[in-house]
Amino acid sequence: MSLAGVRCLVTGAGGFLGQRIVRLLLEEEEELAEIRTLDKAFSYEAYKSFTDFKGQTQVTILEGDIQDATFLQRACQGVSLVIHAAAIIDVLGLVETKVIREVNVTGTQLLLDACVCNNVQHFIYTSSIEVTGPNYRGDPICNGDEDTVYDSIIRSPYSQSKKLAEAAVLKANGQALKDGGIFLTCALRPTYIFGEGSPFLQGHLAESIMNNNNFRRISRKEALVNPVYVGNVAWAHILIAKALRNPEKAKHIEGQFYYISDDTPHLSYSDLNYELSKELGLGVDPCLPMPLMMMYYFALLLEVVSFLLRPFVTYIPSFNRHLVLLLNTTFTFSYRKAQRDFGYVPRYKWKEAKQRTSQWIASVIPQRRQYLKNRLPKPKRN
């Protein structure tokens, strides 16, 4: 079933994943009536790519705050599908817990309320693998699925906020709408997302250039994860949106969450960085800078120092215990349920995903080198 005639709202449309969802919708669903792209701010590149679109679909740019209830009410008027990808992502503690909760949890609830008030039929939430874990013990999961039993006690403010927001989304499923319809919701839990424009990959590239074109090893080779290409995550959103319009398929999807991965090889985070860029001359350290247990307790020490300094100065450590566990725990998941319920099959194979990402990296490296060169102090003249 197509999305012909649908008016769709995409939140977080200026972000890494949100932009890809919008572009794929415009490319694949030519008979969409309208896409409303919502974000707090859009980069020039994102704004230009949306406004320069020459197809039949109307593209409306909405700049506003996800915490503004009045703004959200206006944004949802006349819409039948919402894809909610907006969120603050923070694994280092750069953002206050209160702010993360307000955006990721309260903002999601305000959006759900606006949808119900405006008779929005379908709501797709972009959740996260971190809703599951890893937990504070670093218990591994190998090829898990939606029925895998796991003690998902998590302490990261970001992970907790995504878990609460996802729960609110799934709880809202089945609510009665004012026009007599039923509100249908679901959630997608992508594994670690890589691809062109990845802010995390950009950060690692900058560090590698400063480290003589060598990635610092941040994860053990044995800590296998299954990263997913950004184009495949966007594709999963479109497929489940179509399936929700099919009453027979929708009854299996509503109120459910789905893990989204693809055929990217299972490897560690550090080895993914290397695999994507080794042909460009970048390397990776052979081992962690210190034993894993020592890293964990060193991270704890840094957290204690940060806490003690808080009344006087803001100090954010470069890593913490949550990040050490996240990067060094085997955590892989199957997409079988998504394939069964709404026909998800990766649109982009690993070879193509790797090639596209590597080409982007090749274009970014000279920019990063020039940027870092300009930041270095110029030699003084006598």
Active site residues: 162
Query: Tokens standing for 336?
Result: 């079988």
Closest CA to 162 of 187, 197, 193: 187
Residue 260 near residue 236 (C-beta atoms within 8 A): yes
Upstream peptide bond of 134 is cis (omega within 30 degrees of 0) = yes
Closest CA to 85 of 50, 114, 26, 125: 125
Exposure string of 202-233, with b = 16+ CB inside 10 Å and e = fewer, is bebbbbbbeeeeebebbbbeebbbbbbbbbbb
Query: Tokens standing for 344?
Result: 């998800």
Burial label for 334, CB within 10 Å (0-12, 13-18, 19+), is middle
